[in-house]
Structure 1
Amino acid sequence: MFNTLGKVNDVDVVQITGTDVDHTSGNLNMTTVSVRTNMTLVQAISRWLLTSDNLVPIDQFIPQNKTEEEVNQLNQQAFLSSESSATTAALRYLKKPLEVEIAEVVAGSPADGSLSAGDRIVSIAGEKVDSGGHAQKIVRSKKPGDDITVTVRHQGTTEEKTITLAEHPSDKKLPFLGISMTTVPTGDITVKYNLEDVGGPSAGMMFALAVIDKLSPGQLNHGKYVVGTGTIDDDGNVGHIGGIEHKARAAADDNAELFLAPKDNCADLRGKDFGAMKIVSVATLEDAVTQMDNYAAGKDLHLCE
């Protein structure tokens, strides 16, 4: 487990610069599951008997049509995507303004030569955008061959570019601009996540809660030992993750008081004994905050039952 309010190698796990950051304390822990492969039968049975490890079919983690390296790459991409969504969801929860930044321009695409990585998108086709999803929706409303205007801030200067959309490489019926985007805070605020060798999207919700805690007064955890897991999207919706029982077990073994679980994972936890730890169901970022408030105040909880 990692405490998203803590440090790793003397560096904040969630590092925010360019604005005032509130003092935080206590725990908003994210959980991880490690996977061991290529063991002999004797090694596998020994770990099953002598440790808390469980034996599961390898295709639960590494599909038959993927190599372990390919899965690790996909997990790392998912982790990076979850970081971006965590920032977006947290800042939207706090009602802070956001901008869309171009992360990459595909070589040879319609955007190549007109747009650059680091450009901030002001509008597309005359419509202001505040998320990558919104920008993509506008582009998808056009057809291959259509001209589209993209207004960007490039190195401090506002520029308007007219670009002819091409056919998408994977579906010729769809338009193709050729950029990848990320949602970022306006101004000089930056949010950086400093964890290495961790993959997958399941830390998203806890990252978002850490950002909220650091950018708002008071303690989000109310001094309680809180652990949780769940994906997050730009709108703050919390999604299903894998390995939930192992993660909840690790939290209970570490004497956590409250475990935030995705609503869609509750069925995986019913009937299991996790001691005194309360496991609550959350569907959104707002749910997670409310459940922590209710637990601290002694109010009713939405338990996974």
Structure 2
Amino acid sequence: MRKGTMILLLIISLTANLYLLAVQQPVKDEQVQLLQERINSLEAEKEDLNAQIGQDNVSLQSYASQLDFYRQQLNELGSSVGLSSDGYEGTASLQAPAVYQSIEEVIDGPFIRQIVTEKGSMMNISVEIGPGKGRVLVETKPLMGVVFQDAANTAVFVAQNLTDANMMSSDIIFSIIAVGEIPAVDGPSAGALMTLIMVSALNHEQLNDSVTLTGTIDQYGNVGAIGGVLEKAQAAKDGGKQLFLLPKENSRLVQYTYVEKNIGGFSMIERRPEIIDAKPYIEENIGIRVEYVDSIEDVMYYAFDSSKSNAPL
């Protein structure tokens, strides 16, 4: 009797397991299919974005060449009518935070997958102004993209408007040198800083080297949003800076919390976004003072006065 009962229980258990497998397998198959479709969609988006980046870089290079050509034409025209000046001279430099990607290949069974991490580092950015033909030149080490050329042209335009300088008979050379051995970096996020050091060089005004900043610049002198806020803040802190100027458009950070949920016998991890204020978060967790800036005038307010960076957190 006892043996029969055990056999009956075994049959019931096997039947229940088979039923659960029959019910759960379609769920697993559907999840795998949805994940694969999502991966395929993201791969397609990545290819489209890479193609767009390539087209944008070609366009920027073309615009930079055209701008140099028209500057040369303007210089020759000014010389022919006696409007050329003797040219400006000046130098200035400041360290800027940058973000670069590190790619590590990991062997996982028969597959090789890549782990991409983002890290912050400091770059030395300097400008040298001397007599010339109105050219804007960019030297980068390591080699960086043409977006820096576009940012340099905009920086010169804004600096001229702020200082009323006529750069027709001057050459401007920006040098961007990475402090450490890092891969190629690109992006317009040094635009505001390039504008700042350009103004400093033209006015022969000393910069406060305990300050650093990040942000794009447009033709009207507005400072725009960038990526890698936390990585850049950490790089600034590690580089010994006391004040980190951040675009006001970056005042909100998105942080994620992970919540475990049980659905249909499966344990699922849900990622929930939370919006936080960047300034108190960075000051508390990284330990560097942060001020928001909207324009190049805001940047100059902090960068030319050493007392502005010494206030306590």
Q: Which has the higher contact order (CA 8 A, sep 6+)?
A: 1
Could you tell me the TM-score, scaled by structure 2's length? 0.46
Looking at secondary structure, tell me which structure has more helix per residue.
Answer: 2
Q: Larger C-alpha radius of gyration, 1 or 2?
A: 2
TM-score by length of 1: 0.48
